[in-house]
Amino acid sequence: MKRTSRYPFFDVMNEQMTWDNHTRAIINSRTHPKGEHAFLTTVEAEMLRSWCSLLMDDARPEVMQHVIDHFDQTLVSSQESQRKYGEPPLPQLIRDGLHALDQACQSMFTEHFFHLETPRQLQIMTEISEGQAAPAEYWKSVPQTAFFLKMLSTTIDAYYSHPKIWSDIGYAGPAYPRGYIRMDLGQLDPWEPKEDTKKNEA
């Protein structure tokens, strides 16, 4: 998967000495994921690795490991701001959905999801997003579209909290305690990166 950035020479971690100790510790922890999980099984973690890599079109190991760790922490804490009526709690929804996905792949292809070819994986993901995944018997207790949307939103939350992604999109990091001064459209503070209009691989 090719990565492109309009800020190819920017590294947000060069700004870390302007953050307070607590913020610096949190952000640094995202660059050194432990890979130790309290909720996810090994198979579930590998399914997430494949799924999330395809969602974000990014297979960088350090980024995807952070995404998986974020999933695990979210599922352990099970903190949900909103849940639709009749929708299972997040840990149950994700676990049941991954289990149904694994059963379906084993039944149809005798392989785990993460061992399938990319086009087939994408086809399955599309079918789940539309509530049309087969075989139907494995999905009868899982609201497929809700499962897909939760997988999507949790992946996005995790992905865009990683410093490498901040660097890719030109985000200069937390405003506290330094603060952003130039707030008008098009204005940049001295520590913010300038966009490189040439296309560059990240």
Angle ∠(84,138,151) on CA atoms, nearest 5 = 45
pLDDT at 83: 67
pLDDT at 183: 73
Write out residues in the chain with pLDDT < 50, as ranges: none
pLDDT at 196: 77
Task: Name the domain count of the chain.
Answer: 1
Nearest to 159 by CA among 83, 52, 76, 82: 52
- Rounded-to-integer distance, Cα 129 and Cα 164, Å: 28
Domain containing residue 189: 4-201
pLDDT at 174: 87
pLDDT at 202: 52
pTM: 0.89
Nearest to 69 by CA among 132, 154, 170, 190: 154
